[in-house]
A and B are shown apart, each in its own frame.
Chain A
């Protein structure tokens, strides 16, 4: 296989090729310290595929993955792909209602779940097969739900896989659910082609080999995991899975990176900021680290300067792209960061698998240097949202290409490429996660005492954004802020919980009787500047 351009028609062919070339090398290290070689990983994936096929799963069927990050999860992903099914990774710590709604939305035929999530999975009508993956080591646990299959049983199954000749680059490989503006998560449906073209681009720019040791910080339901999973396994490198618990503990993570001599780090800027602030990085040797990649949100320059001062040697890249396109533009960040720089770095130029277009509201390209909406075309761009019928309004046709509206406003700098300016809709980023403010409002409206809810986001130098929820309530006494916080933590993923609640008798309205978000936004911005 020539480097850079891949003849793989399916993501599992990366693993199959590496199992041939690097069979005895360590492929993946579990958060508990155990590991699998390439040969073992490929063998287990074959058995999982054999099991799924024996259960009657058909090409294109969806299979849920609801469990903490582990080697078993990686085995399951490749087993699912080898059966020509698509995997649907879901945050196992999300509220049960959210997990159920995602599994139900894409009609999963099977689910791999931790013991704690197996009950939720078994509730989903279409999920005829539930595999309980037990602990991170794959040890079986007592108390399986009725009809559920243990992980050990699956691994005892005869190997099998869909015929390689039947594999197609247009097969759906995975569905990643993101926050939806109406409160229902949207399933971004991505094909093997989408991922392969991105991973092959990564090969050409980052040039990894079998001696690299990659971090996997992002959870599998987050699109940063596509680079984490497939780039190292394509090249025979070793992938170190970072558990959710470790990933939130900068002091332990700092030691982990040094101890395992990781060579490639990829995460959101938030995590790098935490490492610089709380990791006590001075006490360790990071001379093995050669690449630091970040994506998912704007990196405040203050924090970027901080991490590059601690880690002066690696090469830094800003990778940009919504889940719908994966990474579509990139910029190398020159270090050291000048002491007087305050402007965030650009998102750079399109990757080789993408093209970019900046247009006005009438979809007419703007003159170079003027602000406009960024549209992307290319082989990594998704086909659509799961279950969506009709033409997707986020696309338009031009020059025989299909262009996707990222919703991001940018302007082009002749030297540095695209510069991110902001958004015009109600989507914000926090810790790299996309949040539709309407999604939070939908959750608040489910509170029995809330009659009106409006959520606004305001910029914050430290946190990126602060989210303020304005509510009007009925029935005295009004719920306390403690009550509302606790309610949100049960109804929403943690990163979506508002930072502040503000009570109003009623919400301000515009002349057309819509919530006056601009007025609330101004009130929040004023209160924020007072407390600073």
Chain B
């Protein structure tokens, strides 16, 4: 996989979240800073599936202690986390 930019990661995550958790929603209603975990849009089982997706899509490993709201509540935090992981692993 060629290196995606942070913006590309955000768009891919936005599409994934819209498909899985907000079917029918307009992309313009899901902002980079929309709370997802703390607002109840993504529940604990949804988080597991999303992390599974992220691990295979971006070939990174997410440790259990990293799976909290600090990294997974908002699209912008997820993108930053994924980029940092990819760079650390490169």
Residues of A within 8 A of B (CB): 248-252, 270, 274, 278, 431, 480-482, 485-486, 488-490, 494-495, 497, 499-503, 531
Closest to B42 in A: A485
Contact of B89 with A by CB under 8 A: no
Asked if A497 contacts B48 (CB within 8 A), the reply is no
14 contacts between A and B (CB under 8 A): A248-B45, A249-B44, A252-B64, A274-B45, A278-B48, A278-B52, A431-B45, A481-B22, A481-B24, A482-B22, A500-B23, A500-B24, A501-B24, A531-B23
In the complex, chain B residues whose CB is within 8 Å of the CB of A489: 39-41
Contact of B30 with A by CB under 8 A: yes
Closest 7 pairs between A and B when the two form their complex, measured CB to CB: A489-B40, A248-B44, A481-B25, A480-B29, A486-B39, A485-B41, A500-B23
Given contacts A482-B22, A488-B40, 14 further A-B pairs with CB under 8 A are: A248-B44, A250-B48, A251-B64, A480-B25, A480-B26, A481-B22, A481-B25, A482-B30, A486-B39, A490-B40, A495-B43, A500-B24, A503-B24, A531-B23
In the complex, chain A residues whose CB is within 8 Å of the CB of B52: 278
Closest to A481 in B: B25
**A contacts with B: majority SS:** helix
Would you list which residues of chain B between 3 and 36 have a CB under 8 Å from chain A? 21-26, 29-30, 34
Choose among A431, A489, A490 the residue with the greatest number of B CB atoms under 10 Å from its CB.
A489
Q: Measured between C-beta atoms, what is the minimum distance from A330 to chain B in Å?
A: 27
Q: Measured between C-beta atoms, what is the minimum distance from A234 to chain B in Å?
A: 32
Asked if A482 contacts B64 (CB within 8 A), the reply is no
Distance A251 CA – B24 CA, assembled complex (angstroms): 32
Q: Which listed residue, A482, A490, A495, A531, touches B41 by the CB 8 Å rule?
A: A482
Taken residue by residue from 40 to 57, chain B's Cβ proximity to chain A (1 for < 8 Å, 0 otherwise) reads as 110111001000100000
Distance A364 CA – B64 CA, assembled complex (angstroms): 55
Distance A495 CA – B40 CA, assembled complex (angstroms): 10
Asked if B25 contacts A494 (CB within 8 A), the reply is no
Distance A187 CA – B64 CA, assembled complex (angstroms): 37
Residues of B within 8 A of A (CB): 21-26, 29-30, 34, 39-41, 43-45, 48, 52, 64, 67
In the complex, chain B residues whose CB is within 8 Å of the CB of A480: 25-26, 29
In the complex, chain B residues whose CB is within 8 Å of the CB of A482: 22, 25, 29-30, 34, 39, 41
Q: Measured between C-beta atoms, what is the minimum distance from A468 to chain B in Å?
A: 9
In the complex, chain A residues whose CB is within 8 Å of the CB of B39: 482, 485-486, 489
Distance A501 CA – B22 CA, assembled complex (angstroms): 8
User: Given A252-B64, A482-B29, do A497 and B24 touch, yes or no (CB 8 Å)?
Assistant: no
In the complex, chain B residues whose CB is within 8 Å of the CB of A502: 24
Distance A493 CA – B48 CA, assembled complex (angstroms): 19
In the complex, chain B residues whose CB is within 8 Å of the CB of A531: 23
Closest to A251 in B: B64
Closest to B52 in A: A278
Q: Which listed residue, B24, B40, B48, B64, touches A274 by the CB 8 Å rule?
A: B48
Q: Measured between C-beta atoms, what is the minimum distance from A453 to chain B in Å?
A: 16
Distance A211 CA – B41 CA, assembled complex (angstroms): 43
In the complex, chain B residues whose CB is within 8 Å of the CB of A494: 40, 43
In the complex, chain A residues whose CB is within 8 Å of the CB of B21: 485
Q: Measured between C-beta atoms, what is the minimum distance from A469 to chain B in Å?
A: 11
Q: Measured between C-beta atoms, what is the minimum distance from B5 to chain A in Å?
A: 25
In the complex, chain B residues whose CB is within 8 Å of the CB of A495: 43
Distance A481 CA – B64 CA, assembled complex (angstroms): 30
In the complex, chain B residues whose CB is within 8 Å of the CB of A431: 45
In the complex, chain B residues whose CB is within 8 Å of the CB of A249: 44, 64, 67
Q: Measured between C-beta atoms, what is the minimum distance from B63 to chain A in Å?
A: 9
User: Given A274-B45, A278-B52, A480-B29, do A485 and B22 touch, yes or no (CB 8 Å)?
Assistant: yes
Closest to B41 in A: A485
Distance A208 CA – B80 CA, assembled complex (angstroms): 50
Q: Measured between C-beta atoms, what is the minimum distance from A267 to chain B in Å?
A: 14
In the complex, chain B residues whose CB is within 8 Å of the CB of A500: 23-24
Q: Measured between C-beta atoms, what is the minimum distance from B72 to chain A in Å?
A: 13
User: Given A251-B64, A278-B48, A482-B34, do A497 and B43 touch, yes or no (CB 8 Å)?
Assistant: yes
Q: Measured between C-beta atoms, what is the minimum distance from A346 to chain B in Å?
A: 27
Distance A270 CA – B48 CA, assembled complex (angstroms): 13
Distance A500 CA – B18 CA, assembled complex (angstroms): 11
In the complex, chain B residues whose CB is within 8 Å of the CB of A250: 48
Distance A488 CA – B64 CA, assembled complex (angstroms): 28
Q: Which listed residue, B24, B40, B43, B67, touches A486 by the CB 8 Å rule?
A: B40
Closest to A462 in B: B49
Q: Measured between C-beta atoms, what is the minimum distance from A274 to chain B in Å?
A: 7
Distance A251 CA – B45 CA, assembled complex (angstroms): 12
In the complex, chain A residues whose CB is within 8 Å of the CB of B41: 482, 485-486, 489
Distance A325 CA – B37 CA, assembled complex (angstroms): 36
In the complex, chain A residues whose CB is within 8 Å of the CB of B22: 481-482, 485
Closest to A466 in B: B23
Closest to A480 in B: B29
In the complex, chain A residues whose CB is within 8 Å of the CB of B29: 480-482
Distance A489 CA – B38 CA, assembled complex (angstroms): 9
Q: Measured between C-beta atoms, what is the minimum distance from A220 to chain B in Å?
A: 19
In the complex, chain A residues whose CB is within 8 Å of the CB of B67: 249
Distance A360 CA – B34 CA, assembled complex (angstroms): 51
In the complex, chain B residues whose CB is within 8 Å of the CB of A278: 48, 52
